[in-house]
Structure 1
Amino acid sequence: MIDYNDRKFKPVINSENGEVDSEMIFHYRQTGNIVTCRYSGSNITEGHLIALVDEQGVLNMRYHQINNKGEIMTGTCKSTPEVMHNGKIRLHENWQWTSGDMSKGLSLLEEL
């Protein structure tokens, strides 16, 4: 299992229907197989995620956030890790809104 505790990630790619921006930093905390994170950015006033991590380091997460329009948005995400040649982690994310238009998207986050 990958230990995500105290690792920081920055988005490098996000689908147009997402609200995450490239300036956001996700600072993960982990206890056992539970990962949490609080985040915000230019499009998101306040956001939280909670995930279970499996033995391969895959994160099965749920998130909720309040966007800059004052809307509560929720979704699910599966993040699959890739350990890069420099030892840092890249997360390949497949997500779907469970509110709003229920659309799907892809994101790519890289460890700082």
Structure 2
Amino acid sequence: MARSLDGLVLAPVADQAAGQVGTRTRFAYHEKDGEIWAEYAGGDVVRGHLVGTRSGDRLDFRYVQLRADGTTASGHCVSAVVELADGSVRLEETWEWESGAGSGTSVVEQVTEHDS
């Protein structure tokens, strides 16, 4: 199993559509006893939260966010936790909106302070 996500900051490697997370979005992850949660913001997202579980290298969580245009959105995501050769963490995500139409895949990777 890849290392704990607790205290890590991750960011998308590519932009998604307008109103969604993008390369300027930062996720601050927490993990304890199989529970995961994160706060996120940046780009078109004013404030977001996710909460779920981790079993091995699989995350299963729901997310909700407030967008810069004042709308809200929520969805479900399943992610594979991958530890990279340099020891950093990547999440390979498959997500779907529950508040509207749309689904897709994305990748977020651990960032260091000088990357932020």
For the criterion TM > 0.5, the same-fold answer is yes
Given residue 105 of structure 1, which amino acid in structure 2 is its aligned partner? G
Aligned to 1:103: 102
Aligned to 1:93: 93
- Runs of 4+ more than 2 Å apart: 13-18
The answer to whether the 8 A contact 1:14-1:106 is kept is no
Which consecutive unaligned segments of at least 5 residues does structure 1 have? none
Task: Write the deviation string for residues 47-80 of structure 1: whole angstroms up to 9, x where unpaired.
Answer: 100020002x211010001111211100000111
| Alpha-carbon distance between aligned partners in 2 of 1:83 and 1:45, rounded to the nearest angstrom | 29
| Alpha-carbon distance between aligned partners in 2 of 1:90 and 1:80, rounded to the nearest angstrom | 8
Aligned to 1:66: 66
Displacement of 1:11? 0.7
Displacement of 1:15? 3.9
Aligned to 2:52: 51
Task: Write the deviation string for residues 16-45 of structure 1: whole angstroms up to 9, x where unpaired.
Answer: 366001012111011211111111112111
Given residue 92 of structure 2, which amino acid in structure 1 is its aligned partner? H
Aligned to 1:33: 34
Given residue 107 of structure 1, which amino acid in structure 2 is its aligned partner? S
Cα-Cα RMSD? 1.5
The answer to whether the 8 A contact 1:51-1:61 is kept is yes
Q: Per chain length, whose mean CA-contact separation is higher, i.e. which structure has more relative contact order (CA < 8 Å, sep 6+)?
A: 1
Normalised TM-score (structure 2): 0.86
Q: How many residue pairs end up in the alignment?
A: 110
SS at match of 1:22: coil
Which consecutive unaligned segments of at least 5 residues does structure 2 have? 112-116
Normalised TM-score (structure 1): 0.89
The answer to whether the 8 A contact 2:25-2:41 is kept is yes
| Alpha-carbon distance between aligned partners in 1 of 2:96 and 2:18, rounded to the nearest angstrom | 10
